[in-house]
């Protein structure tokens, strides 16, 4: 039985708890949540037991595909034999000795401090994305876990998504041929454009707390998927902008109730070359007036035999298939169970299960800390390329040879 301590009551916590709830409902019971701590104790108390604590916060997103739309969940909704204890601080939780592993959905700037404290206390750690405030901070976390023989993972839920896993299967089966080109393109968002505080969390727009803007917050998702499907990125060229210098949260009447001065990007355009020879383009912005424009099928992959557009595999000559249907027809039962254990499709549930099983098997989850650092390096390569006005090697960003953008953040945290 693995005892889990939750560190932080961030907006993403309901998605984490929903994942644990679905695991219990699916029949996996080898864990209990035994503790929770937050900078604001009252926030932590809100998640413990139905009928107790303060009034839950409403989800900040209405988009059902966004984890930030997950409804409020109480630990007592899926766990009635163990009460989760509320701790005033992480140090108090670690000193109490009642947890074996930490799930850390706290704000980005404390990911490295909370993780390092947990690892040094002998706790396995699962860290919300982005993995760390800088590449250097992330590498320190990975090194600490390796030295202590502890499991370390990042909550990169896109890796566990049905579309990602089935696309990887299709590539492995040779259905696409050799991957040649990739594209992912969005201008504007339905909920945060042109000038809203994203997810009502001002830190996302502040460099010393949020690291970077859309290039990091969205970039780590996209690069994890691209790296998984296409391979490592060799070189990055990019431009970034801060189009909205101030962002706001408004009430139902339109009155401003919160504002933040922005010093990180809210838009980027990037071109990349992959180690294997493929090329790609990617863009995203939280800005954009009027209406959003995107590739409605999301990530596009072109190979030597055809292309993947969402669930569609289109081969030369016009032959077309549903990838999901092909997977259901052709994939071996043992592969289906490995990719979607217990028949689960919730990405947070699958990721949590991978982490928990990894602890018992003495391994990192598929979305390991090292994977998290690689995602950081690719994302920060956007900022570094924009800062320097030239292409950069992603490996140089990973190695710390290129860090003009990140250097002030590293200095701020004494890294």
User: Looking at the structure, do residues 309 and 213 belong to the same domain, yes or no?
Assistant: yes
* pLDDT over 90, % of the chain: 96
3-class secondary structure, 11: coil
Residues 34-60, mean pLDDT to the nearest whole number: 93
* pLDDT per position as a tens digit, 288-316: 999 999 998 899 999 999 999 999 999 99
Tokens of 104: 């850390």
Mean pLDDT estimate for the chain: 96
3-class secondary structure, 127: strand
Look at residue 381 and tell me if it is in a domain: no
Whether the predicted pLDDT of 124 surpasses 90:
yes
pLDDT at 54: 87
Q: How far apart are CA 139 and CA 115, in angstroms?
A: 12
* pLDDT per position as a tens digit, 320-354: 999 999 999 999 999 999 999 999 999 999 999 99
Residues 237-254, mean pLDDT to the nearest whole number: 96
Look at residue 374 and tell me if it is in a domain: no
Q: How far apart are CA 126 and CA 218, in angstroms?
A: 19
Confidence of residue 136 (pLDDT cuts 50, 70, 90): very high
Q: Which domain holds residue 192?
A: 161-337
Look at residue 245 and tell me if it is in a domain: yes
Residues 73-84, mean pLDDT to the nearest whole number: 95
pLDDT at 34: 98
pLDDT at 130: 98
User: Looking at the structure, do residues 51 and 133 belong to the same domain, yes or no?
Assistant: yes
pLDDT at 167: 98
Bridge partners (DSSP) of residue 184 are: 282
pLDDT at 51: 87
Residue written as token pair 């109730």: 257
Residue written as token pair 């259905």: 175
Residue written as token pair 């690069």: 223
Residue 352 belongs to domain with CATH number: 3.40.50.720
User: Looking at the structure, do residues 216 and 270 belong to the same domain, yes or no?
Assistant: yes
Tokens of 410: 């590293």
User: Looking at the structure, do residues 291 and 178 belong to the same domain, yes or no?
Assistant: yes
User: Looking at the structure, do residues 289 and 301 belong to the same domain, yes or no?
Assistant: yes
Whether the predicted pLDDT of 49 surpasses 90:
yes
User: Looking at the structure, do residues 320 and 200 belong to the same domain, yes or no?
Assistant: yes
pLDDT at 375: 98
User: Looking at the structure, do residues 231 and 347 belong to the same domain, yes or no?
Assistant: no
Confidence of residue 286 (pLDDT cuts 50, 70, 90): very high
Q: How far apart are CA 110 and CA 236, in angstroms?
A: 28
Look at residue 213 and tell me if it is in a domain: yes
Q: Are 111 and 139 within 8 A, CB to CB?
A: no
Domain boundary among 296, 318, 337: 337
Bridge partners (DSSP) of residue 382 are: none
Look at residue 397 and tell me if it is in a domain: no
pLDDT at 193: 96
User: Looking at the structure, do residues 194 and 332 belong to the same domain, yes or no?
Assistant: yes
Q: How far apart are CA 176 and CA 283, in angstroms?
A: 24
Residues 136-142, mean pLDDT to the nearest whole number: 98
How many other C-beta atoms are found inside a 10 Å radius of the C-beta of residue 330? Answer: 12
Residue 238 belongs to domain with CATH number: 3.30.360.10
Q: Are 246 and 261 within 8 A, CB to CB?
A: yes
* pLDDT per position as a tens digit, 204-238: 999 999 999 999 999 999 999 999 999 999 999 99
Look at residue 226 and tell me if it is in a domain: yes
Look at residue 324 and tell me if it is in a domain: yes
* pLDDT per position as a tens digit, 397-413: 999 999 999 999 999 99
Look at residue 255 and tell me if it is in a domain: yes
CA nearest neighbour of 349 among 365, 335, 360 = 365
Confidence of residue 56 (pLDDT cuts 50, 70, 90): very high
pLDDT at 246: 98
Distances (CA, A) of 379 to 42, 224, 238: 34, 10, 10
3-class secondary structure, 181: strand
Residues 13-26, mean pLDDT to the nearest whole number: 98
DSSP designation for 264 = S
What is the domain count for the chain? 2
User: Looking at the structure, do residues 20 and 152 belong to the same domain, yes or no?
Assistant: yes
User: Looking at the structure, do residues 188 and 147 belong to the same domain, yes or no?
Assistant: no
User: Looking at the structure, do residues 136 and 209 belong to the same domain, yes or no?
Assistant: no
Residue written as token pair 């502040």: 206
């Amino acid at each position: 039985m693995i005892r889990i301590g939750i560190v932080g009551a961030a907006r993403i916590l309901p998605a984490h708890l929903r994942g644990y709830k679905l695991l219990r409902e699916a029949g996996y019971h080898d864990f209990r949540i035994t503790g929770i701590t937050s900078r604001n104790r009252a926030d932590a108390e809100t998640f413990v037991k139905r009928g107790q604590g303060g009034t839950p916060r409403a989800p900040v997103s209405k988009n059902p595909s966004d984890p930030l739309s997950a409804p409020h969940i109480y630990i007592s909704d899926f766990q009635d034999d163990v009460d989760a204890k509320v701790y005033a601080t992480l140090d108090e939780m670690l000193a109490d000795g009642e947890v074996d592993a930490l799930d850390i959905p706290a704000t980005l700037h404390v990911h490295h401090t909370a993780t390092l404290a947990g690892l040094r206390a002998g706790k396995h750690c699962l860290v919300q994305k982005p993995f760390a405030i800088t590449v250097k901070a992330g590498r320190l976390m990975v090194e600490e876990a390796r030295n202590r023989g502890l499991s370390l993972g990042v909550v990169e839920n896109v890796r566990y998504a049905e579309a990602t896993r089935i696309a990887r299967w299709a590539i492995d089966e040779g259905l696409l041929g050799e991957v040649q080109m990739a594209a992912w393109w969005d201008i504007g968002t339905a909920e945060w454009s042109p000038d809203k505080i994203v997810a009502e969390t001002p830190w996302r727009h502040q460099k010393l707390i949020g690291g970077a803007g859309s290039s990091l917050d969205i970039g780590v998702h996209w690069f994890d998927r691209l790296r998984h499907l296409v391979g490592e990125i060799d070189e990055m060229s990019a431009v970034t902008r801060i189009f909205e210098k101030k962002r706001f949260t408004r009430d139902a009447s339109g009155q401003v109730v919160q504002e933040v001065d922005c010093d990180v990007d809210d838009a980027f355009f990037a071109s990349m070359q992959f180690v294997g020879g493929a090329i790609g383009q990617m863009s995203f912005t939280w800005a954009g007036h009027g209406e959003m424009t995107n590739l409605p099928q999301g990530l596009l992959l072109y190979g030597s035999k055809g292309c993947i557009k969402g669930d569609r595999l289109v081969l030369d000559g016009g032959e077309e298939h549903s990838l999901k249907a092909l997977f259901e027809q052709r994939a071996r039962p043992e592969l289906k169970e490995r990719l979607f254990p217990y028949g689960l499709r919730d990405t947070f549930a699958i990721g949590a299960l991978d982490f928990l099983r990894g602890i018992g098997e003495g391994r990192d989850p598929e979305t390991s800390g090292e994977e998290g650092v690689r995602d950081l390096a690719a994302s920060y390569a956007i900022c570094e390329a924009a800062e320097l006005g030239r292409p950069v090697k992603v490996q140089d960003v990973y190695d710390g040879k290129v860090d003009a953008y990140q250097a002030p953040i590293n200095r701020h945290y004494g890294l």
